[in-house]
Each structure stands twice: as structure tokens, then as C-alpha cells.
């Protein structure tokens, strides 16, 4: 079983290593203020799925296979019988599985087994709770909102505040800003451009594959692209993003997978891992998290020149005859 296949299984809370800083800060003397703002917007919320995702790259193929076997619920007795069962299934030693558990940050196999059992129990409970129809509209509304809040908390916990600050500096300093996205991600890109325009940061949005390629062909050093893709594998987005980077533009990826092709191509990756909703699905939760990340990014950009951002918000609101949006 490959590590890529395992990405579809449940995985875990822990800090995501910061990417190499490839950007020059626009205003270094304000960095500490913006860092505090970012960290407040992205408070940690540990979860098993995030921990497994974070540590997956450190596992060998055999260890990843053992983990894949473990994450599927099974009717097994005590700790020793489960350990022997998994070791026998994939042909590895019990010691290797214990070592794998410790790599994931657990004291030993027992702690990993208990965490997986609780994760599976809660996941099934969430499914039953969310799909329950024997209740009133008010109760259903509360459950859907709670599920959305959980998705946002889990997703934001995996975003690196340092990456958020680098992305803010990149966007603020850019001569030209182009946002790429298809489908639901295209809608998020348009919303982001609208929000940034409020504070006087102009961006163009492209959601057509040919337009993205034409945009990328005209970019150069000093420009920036923000590419939106939940999977990080959308072919049209990747092709345009690579072209933009070849021309010298900086690339910011907004995605859910830190190991995706788009993340690897980027200068800065804003990766929000999340557990999908059993009922609303992966895309609905992804949009909620992406929009929340972009709100935090908007705040970080505004902090670079707060006085100018405040003036621009007043001017754009006045143009529409409103005190605010």
C-alpha cells in the first residue's frame, strides 16, 4: 500500500513543518505584529486525522501499510491479538508496528489503538447524528452548524501561521496578482478577489483553462499567482501555475494536501487538512475552511499598511453607498 493511497484514510493533529522561506519580507519591522495576528486567527485544535497526515511522510512503505491496515475498524479482541493480526496480514514484525506508533507521536501501540478506536467511534456517531431524520428543523440546523465549526477548527489547525505571513508579504509586494481556480475553487477565488479589492489590493480572477494559460504567459518576476485547488492536482491549475513560475512569478497554493503537486510547485502553501462531512461532503467543508483561511490572509495583508487599508475600505464602501460591506 503506497503512502498516496493512505492519504484517503483517517490521519492527524500536529504542527505542519514550515516551508522554506523563499520570499523577501515587504516590511520586516512589522512582521512580529502580523505574526501575532495570524497565530490568533489560527489557534490549534488537535485531531487524530491531522496527526496521521502530518507524520505520514516520515513512515516507510511497510509502516504506512501497517497504519492503513489499522485505520479500518475490525472486530478484534485485546491489544496483543490485534497487534499479531495486523503483523500477520502484512508480513511484518510486531516491533515494526510499535515503532510506527511511536513515530506518530504515541507512547506505544496501545495508545494508538485506543485513539483509532475513539476516532472510528466518533466518526460513526457523527454520521448517525448528521443523517438522523427523527428530529425537528431546529435540531438539524444546530447539528449542521456544529459540523461546520468542527471542520473549520480542524482545517485551520493545520495551516502554518508562518506560511500565512509569507503569503501576505508576497501578495502585498506583488505588481500583478492573478487568482486561478476551477469549479467550486473558482468561486472561492472570485470571493477572495472581491474581499481584497475592499482594502485596495487588486487581483484578476481566471477560471478558464485557456485564460489561465494566457495570464501565466504574461506574468513575470515581481508578480504573484494564488492558485486554488482542493485536491492540489487539478490539471489546468497545475499547468498554468508551472508556466507562471517559469516566468518568475511567485506561487501561493491554497489546497488541502501538503504533499500535493500544487503544494510542491509553490513558493508558499496554505494547506488546510480537514475531515469531510458525511452528508454535505468534502467540497462544502473545503470551501468553508478556504474562506476562513482567506479571511485570515486578508487581515494579515491589511496589517502591513493598516492606515491605507482602512482608507480604502471607507472609499469602496462609500462608492456603494454603504458604511461597510
Residue that the C-alpha cell 489590493 belongs to: 201
Mean pLDDT across the chain, nearest whole number? Answer: 77
Section 140-167 average pLDDT = 79
Rounded Cα distance between 316 and 325, Å, is 9
Residue that wins the pLDDT comparison between 74 and 265: 265
Residue that wins the pLDDT comparison between 265 and 147: 265
Rounded Cα distance between 26 and 169, Å, is 6
pTM: 0.60
- pLDDT digits 0-9 by tens, 90-132: 788 889 989 988 888 888 888 888 887 776 665 555 544 544 5
Of 75, 63, 45, 56, residue with least CA distance to 10: 56
Section 220-242 average pLDDT = 95
DSSP string for 87-129: HHHHT--HHHHHHHHHHTT-SSHHHHHHHHHHHHHHHHHHHHH
Percent of the chain with pLDDT over 70: 70
Give the chain's domains with CATH numbers: 48-128 (1.10.10), 157-319 (3.40.50.10490)
Section 225-231 average pLDDT = 93
List beta partners, residue 253: 227, 269
Instruction: Identify the top-confidence range among 46-60, 63-77, 283-297.
Output: 283-297
Q: Is the pLDDT of residue 311 over 80?
A: yes
Rounded Cα distance between 98 and 89, Å, is 15
Surface-to-core class of residue 241, CB atoms within 10 Å of its CB (0-12 exposed, 13-18 middle, 19+ buried): buried
Whole-number pLDDT of residue 104 = 85
Whole-number pLDDT of residue 145 = 74
| Total residue count of the chain as it appears in this document | 325
Least confident range from 142-151, 225-234, 255-264: namely 142-151
Surface-to-core class of residue 125, CB atoms within 10 Å of its CB (0-12 exposed, 13-18 middle, 19+ buried): exposed
Q: Is the pLDDT of residue 324 over 60?
A: no
Q: Is the pLDDT of residue 171 over 50?
A: yes
Q: Is the pLDDT of residue 159 over 90?
A: no
- pLDDT digits 0-9 by tens, 36-68: 433 333 333 346 666 776 677 778 888 888 887
Amino acid at each position: 500500500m503506497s503512502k498516496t493511497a493512505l492519504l484517503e484514510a483517517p490521519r492527524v493533529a500536529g504542527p505542519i513543518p514550515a516551508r522554506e522561506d523563499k520570499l523577501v519580507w515587504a516590511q520586516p519591522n512589522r512582521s512580529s505584529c502580523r505574526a501575532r495576528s495570524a497565530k490568533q486567527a489560527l489557534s490549534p485544535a488537535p485531531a487524530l486525522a491531522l496527526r496521521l497526515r502530518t507524520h505520514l511522510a516520515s513512515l516507510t512503505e511497510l509502516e504506512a501499510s501497517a497504519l492503513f491496515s489499522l485505520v479500518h475498524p475490525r472486530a478484534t479482541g485485546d491489544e496483543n491479538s490485534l497487534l499479531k493480526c495486523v503483523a500477520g496480514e502484512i508480513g511484518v514484525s510486531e516491533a515494526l508496528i510499535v515503532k510506527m506508533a511511536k513515530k506518530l507521536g504515541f507512547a506505544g501501540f496501545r495508545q494508538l489503538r485506543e485513539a483509532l478506536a475513539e476516532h472510528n467511534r466518533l466518526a460513526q456517531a457523527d454520521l448517525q447524528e448528521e443523517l438522523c431524520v427523527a428530529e425537528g428543523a431546529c435540531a438539524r440546523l444546530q447539528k449542521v452548524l456544529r459540523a461546520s465549526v468542527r471542520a473549520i477548527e480542524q482545517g485551520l489547525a493545520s495551516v502554518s501561521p508562518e506560511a500565512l505571513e509569507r503569503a501576505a508579504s508576497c501578495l502585498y509586494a506583488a505588481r500583478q496578482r492573478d487568482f486561478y481556480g476551477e469549479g467550486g475553487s473558482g468561486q472561492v477565488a472570485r470571493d477572495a478577489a472581491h474581499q481584497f479589492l475592499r482594502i485596495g489590493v487588486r487581483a484578476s480572477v481566471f477560471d478558464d483553462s485557456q485564460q489561465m494559460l494566457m495570464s501565466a504567459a504574461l506574468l513575470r518576476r515581481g508578480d504573484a499567482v494564488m492558485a486554488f485547488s482542493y485536491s492540489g492536482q487539478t490539471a489546468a491549475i497545475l499547468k498554468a501555475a508551472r508556466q507562471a513560475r517559469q516566468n518568475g512569478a511567485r506561487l501561493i497554493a491554497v489546497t488541502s494536501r501538503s504533499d500535493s503537486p500544487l503544494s510542491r510547485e509553490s513558493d508558499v502553501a496554505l494547506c488546510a487538512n480537514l475531515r469531510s462531512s458525511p452528508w454535505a461532503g468534502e467540497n462544502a467543508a473545503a470551501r468553508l475552511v478556504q474562506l476562513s483561511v482567506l479571511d485570515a490572509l486578508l487581515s494579515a495583508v491589511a496589517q502591513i499598511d493598516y492606515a491605507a487599508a482602512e482608507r480604502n475600505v471607507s472609499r469602496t464602501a462609500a462608492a456603494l453607498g454603504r458604511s461597510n460591506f
